[in-house]
Structure 1
Amino acid sequence: MKKVKTTPLAVSLLSLVIVSTLAFALLSTRSNAAGDKPAQQQARPALTVTTIQPAAASLPLRLAANGNVAAWQEAIIGSEATGLRLAEVRANVGDEVKAGQLLARFAAETVQADVAQALASLREAEARVQEAAGNAERARALQASGAMSRQEVSQLLTAELTAKARVEAARATLQVQQLRLQQTRVVAPDDGVISSRSATVGAVAGNGAELFRMIRQGRLEWRAEVTSAELPRIRPGSVATITAANGTQVQGTVRMVAPTVDVQSRTALVYVDLPRALPSLAPQAQVRAGMFARGEFNLGETAALTVPQQAVVLRDGFTYVFRLNPDSRVSQLKVRTGRRFGEQVEVLEGIKPQDQLVASGAGFLNEGDLVKVVPAAVQPAAVQPAAR
């Protein structure tokens, strides 16, 4: 057999071909591995979520408003006596008083003297009328006999009438003085709470001067400001929940809706009766006249489509939910929300009752993300994005 002779050049070329072949095979393997890795990553779910369907619920229909708390009626108790000194003041701010209760007393010595004088004048007039009546009776008896002239008879009869008129005038004067004596006692015109006092012992009050102010019957009202568009929805008898600035909540009832609307603000007042605000009643007594309060009118209930609050996402000033598609990917839907009741949010438009919505982890999702759905019972305690 003939032996083949190899040269160094041939050996070098053969080695170069073998190394090139091995290098090409290695690069091809790495390229295929690198190409398969993104495909595997894209197939992995972005998040593990739970889903829900929109629920049909009956939500309370409420109308929010603001307004001031005021007295139902504030009575001004003034002085009817003129030029008398205030001798005693028995009521102070915050006191509960009853109708007819003595609040203050003026010095009555001068008026008592006037009463005594008027009484004496009455008795004098009554004595004179008796004398005039006797003279008139005799004149009538003698008139037929001609013993007295007609002029004398007429004078005696006129004197009787004049005496009777003086009795009536004296009696009226006595009644005036007795009324003045009664006015030295300032009494409460009704049950209520004293809200202001300007009476000072020793002061000489003029006629009509204010001494006290009183919240009649201790009744307060909330004067809510409602726009003209919302006004037709409120009816007398509706229930309202009022929250004062200190957090106190009370229930009230609409008594009256104002018949006019303010031409400047285009709002109308709704008068809501509140529980009696006597100081001995708590916590109603914590709502006081002059407070600013906010409240809500209960206008009944209406049907609504609701979703949990955690399913709603706020982005760029708009509200969204994520719908689960059959391919396990999600679509971002823009919705319009309405009322909130507890953890439920009303959705007015943007979804359908049969939609499957992401309930947990919606804030981590984007349009088209692939998700893994698990039952709510095995939902992870803390929803975290899956590792990419």
Structure 2
Amino acid sequence: MKPSPGYGLLALAALALSGWLLFGRAAKIPAAVVMPATSLSVETVQPRREDWPQERVASGALAPWQEAVISAETGSLRIASLNADIGDRVKQGQVLATLADDSVLAEENKQKAAVAQALAQLQEARSNARRAALVGQSGALSEQQLEEYRVKVQTAEANLAAANADLRTTRIKLTQTRIVAVDDGIISARKALLGDVVAAGAELFRMIRDGRIEWQAELDAQQLSGVQAGQPVRVTLPGGTQVEGRVRLVSPVLDSKTSRALVYVSLPVSSMARAGMYASGRIELPGRAALTVPDTAVVLRDGRSYVFVLGQDMHVSQQGVEVGRRRGQALEIVGGLAEQARIVRSGGAFLSDGASVTLVGSEAQAR
């Protein structure tokens, strides 16, 4: 069946109308706004001003506070007994060893006899002098003879004094056969051997006075600034045990070879510190104001430290900073950052300079 000419015109009119409607509707639809893509959703934080204690980090050896050497004061005697060994805690005056005293006792008896003899001679001289004085009154003895009797009395008195001195010397030697502790402490070394014949001055024992151990921290000239007696110290022993101590004194001179000075730190007697250990520690100085940020906000790149500062346009800028002390999970910023700056708290490693970000958390709601 052949379509009529009127039907074709009607179809063309319908197509024209639909095209006009589509074109007009498209002209009224606004173009889509293209939003820049964000790099990361972040949370920001401002630096805080806090009062942080200053610290001096050092290392050094543990050594006795003071050592005492216990030696034989008399010689040529045999060690008869040993009453102390390494590690024993002893009291002042406690007997550590004894020397054979047979020969000294015999010498003491001899000196006692010498004293008795000198005393008898003195009594005889005095008696003779008294009789001579009576006879001299009658003129039977000359003045020279009387003077001789008086001199004999003085000589007898001197002989008695010398005999008494020798007896005291022997008795002192007898007391020296008992080797005693010179102070309270811990025996750290023993060279005495049972049966050994010792010489005068030979070392028999060595002890740590009061059992006190101290840390000898090594500091250079710059670190010494501000370190004073009485400041608290935290010492970390091998194995991780921490001991609290205090600065006892600071050496007034530096070693010419190492350019370091020793800081002597007293430690508690009951601690696990032992002489010969090597430990590290921190000396706490008076507090100083610090501008701090979370350690997660600082990014290390190419050997330098950076933070990302958020601008008003929601773009971040990479900014170099100088990092100082660390305390817990916070870092001190000593340069390169304004106190009013808003920096990215974490995730800076995924950002680049000029990146666009969005805020999350309470800050996003505040905006």
Q: Scaled by the length of structure 2, what TM-score is found?
A: 0.87
Q: 2:226 aligns with which of 205, 214, 233?
A: 233
Q: Secondary structure at the match of 1:159?
A: helix
Aligned: 1:243 with 2:229: no
CA distance in 1 between partners of 2:218 and 2:86 (Å): 29
Deviation readout 1:22-58 (Å, 9 max, x if unpaired): xxxxxxxxxxxxxx99x95x71211111111111111
Say if 1:196 and 1:212, in contact at 8 Å, map to a contact too.
yes
Q: 1:340 aligns with which of 322, 326, 329?
A: 326
Moved more, 98-107 or 231-240: 231-240
Deviation readout 1:229-273 (Å, 9 max, x if unpaired): 232311122222111223222222222221212222221111222
CA distance in 1 between partners of 2:99 and 2:227 (Å): 49
Partner of 1:52: 45
CA distance in 2 between partners of 1:110 and 1:338 (Å): 73
Q: Equivalences for 1:137-152 in 2 at 5 Å? A: 137-152=130-145
Q: Equivalences for 1:196-275 in 2 at 5 Å? A: 196-275=189-268
Q: How far did 1:377 drift?
A: 9.5
Say if 2:43 and 2:363, in contact at 8 Å, map to a contact too.
no
Aligned: 1:311 with 2:278: no
CA distance in 2 between partners of 1:375 and 1:141 (Å): 125
Q: 1:376 to 1:345 in 2, by over 3 A?
A: farther
Q: Which amino acid aligns with 1:184?
A: T
Aligned: 1:130 with 2:123: yes
Q: How far did 1:152 drift?
A: 3.0
Q: CA RMSD in A?
A: 1.9
CA distance in 2 between partners of 1:72 and 1:310 (Å): 43
Q: How far did 1:366 drift?
A: 0.8
Say if 1:248 and 1:287, in contact at 8 Å, map to a contact too.
no
Partner of 1:157: 150
Q: Which amino acid aligns with 2:192?
A: A
Equivalenced residue count is 335
Q: 1:195 aligns with which of 176, 188, 199?
A: 188
Q: Which amino acid aligns with 1:190?
A: D
Aligned: 1:78 with 2:64: no
Q: 1:291 aligns with which of 249, 254, 277?
A: 277
Q: How far did 1:302 drift?
A: 1.1
Partner of 1:364: 350
Say if 1:305 and 1:353, in contact at 8 Å, map to a contact too.
yes
CA distance in 1 between partners of 2:363 and 2:171 (Å): 87
Moved more, 238-247 or 166-175: 238-247
Q: How far did 1:99 drift?
A: 0.6
Q: Which amino acid aligns with 1:172?
A: A
CA distance in 2 between partners of 1:274 and 1:140 (Å): 76
Q: 1:142 to 1:376 in 2, by over 3 A?
A: farther
Unaligned 5+ runs, structure 1: 1-35, 379-388
Say if 2:82 and 2:98, in contact at 8 Å, map to a contact too.
yes
Q: Scaled by the length of structure 1, what TM-score is found?
A: 0.83
Q: Secondary structure at the match of 2:80?
A: strand
CA distance in 2 between partners of 1:65 and 1:252 (Å): 14
CA distance in 2 between partners of 1:168 and 1:140 (Å): 25
Q: Which amino acid aligns with 1:72?
A: W
Q: 1:357 to 1:232 in 2, by over 3 A?
A: closer
Q: Secondary structure at the match of 1:232?
A: coil
Q: Secondary structure at the match of 1:105?
A: strand
CA distance in 2 between partners of 1:109 and 1:248 (Å): 53
Partner of 1:385: none
Moved more, 97-106 or 259-268: 259-268
Q: Which amino acid aligns with 2:309?
A: R
Q: 1:119 aligns with which of 108, 112, 115?
A: 112
In percent, how many aligned pairs have the same letter?
44
Q: Equivalences for 1:20-35 in 2 at 5 Å? A: none
CA distance in 2 between partners of 1:56 and 1:154 (Å): 99
Partner of 1:31: none
Q: Secondary structure at the match of 1:369?
A: coil
